[in-house]
A and B are shown apart, each in its own frame.
Chain A
């Protein structure tokens, strides 16, 4: 898994997305560098305000401007810098080569169109299908994502679907043009565990079938990452704090934040006496502390942490951490 495929599908270089809020600059994403290989299942995990959703929206250039602005950086997809494209060219990529699944299926589908019409739309725009062909394809897509009697359900409106079915329909829309990158922003957060299991299974299945397409899964739930992803990025305060393979992250977490996050989650299989909570609150992006954004909550705080932001260093092969603790040797 993910070992042979060395082709970079997406490369993000020094991405900075800032928002102007009440004449203050909120650095939602601040200097992000990462890449997604072909056929990879990459996870981004972080809490609210860590910049994970803004990252996804920046890649697709869906940041509302104003107040948001991608102030610098490059998003290179298949050799082209997406940030330099015209809107026309960008539209040809959205929903076609890169597509997105949003968090709340109930609010991201249009209530006045049938599910079928919404799946047909990208097919008619990007694949130049006529109505009849698109409808056939839409029925096939619904079948593919596991909706029973799709030829009947294709004419249903979103309110006639349950939450899980709407999320399946969203996935059908996203997959309709066979994208090479699928970005899923908290696809299961609004769903029940049993439905979540179904959706995650569906996504893993898709990934196994479409060998070349990659999935970028954004979530706050480490357990969901463990279940699906090959590699993980941990974000906090608009920056990557740790990147490594999923197995490595769970067995050998290095960043104090990652460790704290893992300790604070109650387990289903083991009974813990008391949870080791991380003290303090997640800082708002408007008032990030100076230095390392995690320093006020960190157990291992040193004087240097308040002064300078640590660099993202590769501690071992394929395992990078942004923390002063690992800086001394290097």
Chain B
């Protein structure tokens, strides 16, 4: 990294801290700095590493306590990989993930500590996984078909603190909280519909009383009428349990509904990040704008007057030079091919990665 770029990055960090202070809730829960997750590609007779799929490439953002942070983008942009890296299903290749925790001191006071998640060993990690839980996309494959609903929800509790008589009560309580009844405890997942299974998944995530829930496309597999129920449930539970959500979805309307701040990803990079209202009303990056215009509006009188995006998403094995979006960008110029634009704050709280923000 050049001296210049380092300097810019420090500046960026300063600015990010400032926005935190200016924001409604200035207590940061999770901070991600220059995160990179690469997957090696093996080839040839000797299965040598011939390249890397750069699923997440130099991503920085932070999530404040009590907010819903939306992560949107198309298939293969790296949004799910970020989620998985945060709970360390994947290990990051480079970069830092800091989790801000409270630790009780001997004198009864509480102290904020900063924990680097990638450096934790297995035992420590189990402890932190009780604070960061995940809800998965497909409620049909993420529940063990041989476990009863009670076993499924109890399992994280057993991992965290062993078998306990209280566990059953907690499970029953949780089932009620997610809108199911106690009698469901001895049933198996196949007896339930998609929406109910997703409720079970949510109850499982809540069982350890987490502070952060990573919801990876939690409503994508559900029917439209059931989708709304689950979204409402997630919002209610947030108020009740005071959890923070990282909400990953490809559905821009759903994210707009639920998220306070969003980040738009493309090819492993965050292209634009900021308050949801700001980004939806006034997108600065051409990619965000094109993406938003591609969503059907649901108004038959206003039929498409949009410029659909040409071409295909490039492979993350072989990324274009310069700005990752330049081969498909309607306003790309020479500089976009050569220089990778920095991820900078353009307006208050809005970060953009583009040479010509707001020009499209």
Contact = CB atoms under 8 A, between A and B. Distances in A.
A194 B258 CA distance: 22
Nearest to A49: B223
User: What interface size band does chain B fall in?
Assistant: 35 or more
Given A197-B306, A250-B300, A47 B253 contact: no
B235 to A, nearest CB: 7
Interface stretch (A26-34, A93-101, A273-281, A302-310): A273-281
Contact of B297 (A200, A223, A246, A261): A223
Q: Is the interface of B mostly helix, strand, loop or mixed?
A: helix
Interface stretch (B43-51, B102-110, B225-233): B225-233
A6 to B, nearest CB: 22
Interface of A: 47-48, 162-165, 192-198, 200-201, 204, 220-227, 246-247, 249-250, 260-261, 264-269, 271-272, 274-279, 281-282, 284, 297
A92 B57 CA distance: 53
**In this complex, which of B193, B254, B296 has the most chain A Cβ atoms within 10 angstroms of its Cβ?**
B296
A198 B308 CA distance: 6
B298 to A, nearest CB: 4
Contact of A220 (B224, B254, B298, B309): B224
Nearest to A190: B75
A90 to B, nearest CB: 33
A48 B256 CA distance: 25
B297 A269 contact: yes
Interface of B: 74-75, 193-196, 223-229, 231-232, 235, 250, 252-254, 256-258, 277, 280, 290-301, 303-304, 306, 308-309, 312-313
A277 B232 contact: yes
A266 B306 contact: no
A221 B304 contact: no
B91 to A, nearest CB: 28
Contact of A266 (B253, B294, B299, B301): B253
Contacts of A47: 223-225
Contacts of A225: 300
A39 to B, nearest CB: 17
A192 B250 contact: yes
A172 to B, nearest CB: 17
Contacts of B303: 226-227
6 contacts: A162-B312, A165-B312, A193-B74, A197-B296, A277-B226, A281-B226
A192 B74 contact: yes
A275 B219 CA distance: 14
Contacts of B226: 277, 281-282
B257 to A, nearest CB: 4
B301 A247 contact: yes
B308 A194 contact: yes
B182 to A, nearest CB: 19
Contacts of B308: 194, 197-198, 201
Nearest to B192: A281
Nearest to B193: A281
Contact of B294 (A163, A194, A267): A194
A226 B297 contact: yes
B251 to A, nearest CB: 8
A223 B296 contact: yes
A193 B250 contact: yes
Contact of A274 (B227, B232, B250, B298): B232
B298 A250 contact: yes
